[in-house]
Structure 1
Amino acid sequence: MRYFLIIGIILFTLPRMSAQQLQSYILEAETNNPEIQAFELRYNIAEEKINEVNTLPDTEFGAGYFVSEPETRTGAQRARFSVKQMLPWFGTITARENYASSMAEAEYVEMVIAKRKLALSVSQAYYRLYGIKAKQKVLENNIQLLETYERLALTSLEVGNASAVDVLRLQIRQNELQQQKEILREDFIAQKVEFNNLLNKEKAAPITVVDSMVLPIQELSVSSQDLTLHPELLKYEKLYESITQSEALNQKESLPNLGFGLDYIPVEKRPDMNFGDNGKDILMPMVSVSIPIFNNKYNSRTRQNELRQQEINMQKEERLNKLETLLSQAVQSRNSARISYDIQLKNLEQAEDAEDILIRNYETGTINFNDVLDIQELQLKFQISQIESIKMYYVQSAIINYLIN
Structure 2
Amino acid sequence: MKTIFNIIIILLLAIPISFAQTLDDYFKIAAENNPGLQANYKEFEAAMQKVPQMNALPDPTFSFGYFISPVETRVGPQRAKFSLTQMFPWFGTLKAREDAATLQAEAKYQAFLDARNRLYFQVAAAYFPLYELKKWKQIEQENINILESYKTIATRKYENGNSTMVNVLRVDIMLNDAQTRLKILNDKEKPLLSAFNNLLDRDENEPVAVADSLSVENVPGPVSRDSLKSNNPVLSELELKTRASEAGEVAAQKQGLPNVGVGLDYVVVGKSSEMTASDNGKDVLMPMVSVSIPLFRKKYKAAEREAQLNQESFSLQKENVLNTLVSEFDQAKFEMQQQQQLVQLYDEQIQTTRQSLNLLFKDYGNSGKEFEEVLRMQQQLLQYEKNRATALAEFQTALAKINYLTAKTMNNENK
Please, what TM-score do these two structures have when normalized by structure 1? Answer: 0.91
SS of 2:400 mapped into structure 1: helix
Percent identity, aligned pairs only, is 36
Residue 186 (str. 1) matches residue 177 (str. 2): no
2:221 aligns with: 221
SS of 1:125 mapped into structure 2: helix
Query: Aligned partners of 2:99, 2:65: CA distance in 1, in Å?
Result: 40
Measured after TM superposition, the shift of residue 329 of structure 1 is: 0.9
1:3-402 alignment runs, 5 A limit: 21-216=22-217, 218-225=218-225, 226-229=227-230, 230-402=232-404
SS of 2:49 mapped into structure 1: helix
1:7 aligns with: none
AA of the residue aligned to 2:132: G
Instruction: String of CA shifts for 1:257-290, please: whole Å, max 9, x gaps.
Output: 1101111221121234322222121222111011
AA of the residue aligned to 2:87: M
Q: CA RMSD in A?
A: 1.7
Measured after TM superposition, the shift of residue 171 of structure 1 is: 1.9
Measured after TM superposition, the shift of residue 158 of structure 1 is: 0.5
Instruction: String of CA shifts for 1:281-332, please: whole Å, max 9, x gaps.
Output: 1222111011313323222222222222122111111111111111111111
Query: Aligned partners of 1:55, 1:220: CA distance in 2, in Å?
Result: 50
Instruction: String of CA shifts for 1:144-202, please: whole Å, max 9, x gaps.
Output: 11011011111111012233332222122112112111211222221111111111112
Instruction: String of CA shifts for 1:75-121, please: whole Å, max 9, x gaps.
Output: 22222211111011222222121111100110011011001000101
Q: Quick check: 2:60–2:87 contact (8 Å CA) kept in 1?
A: yes
AA of the residue aligned to 1:300: A
1:5 aligns with: none
In the alignment of these two chains, the number of paired residues is 387
- Seen in structure 2, the aligned counterparts of structure 1 residues 332 and 220 have a Cα distance that, compared at 3 Å, is closer
Q: Quick check: 2:259–2:292 contact (8 Å CA) kept in 1?
A: yes
Q: Quick check: 2:262–2:289 contact (8 Å CA) kept in 1?
A: yes
Comparing 31-40 with 267-276, greater Cα deviation is found at 267-276
2:9 aligns with: none
AA of the residue aligned to 2:388: Q
Query: Aligned partners of 2:306, 2:57: CA distance in 1, in Å?
Result: 27
Query: Aligned partners of 1:167, 1:212: CA distance in 2, in Å?
Result: 35
Query: Aligned partners of 1:320, 1:352: CA distance in 2, in Å?
Result: 48
Query: Aligned partners of 1:59, 1:323: CA distance in 2, in Å?
Result: 51
Query: Aligned partners of 2:327, 2:219: CA distance in 1, in Å?
Result: 19
Query: Aligned partners of 2:401, 2:174: CA distance in 1, in Å?
Result: 38
Comparing 365-374 with 133-142, greater Cα deviation is found at 365-374
1:4 aligns with: none
Q: Quick check: 1:358–1:367 contact (8 Å CA) kept in 2?
A: no
Query: Aligned partners of 1:46, 1:209: CA distance in 2, in Å?
Result: 39
SS of 2:156 mapped into structure 1: helix
2:3 aligns with: none
Comparing 200-209 with 137-146, greater Cα deviation is found at 200-209
Query: Aligned partners of 2:351, 2:75: CA distance in 1, in Å?
Result: 116
Q: Quick check: 1:334–1:396 contact (8 Å CA) kept in 2?
A: yes
Q: Structure 2: state its 5+ residue gaps.
A: 1-18, 409-415
- Kindly report structure 1 stretches of 4+ aligned residues shifted beyond 4 Å: none
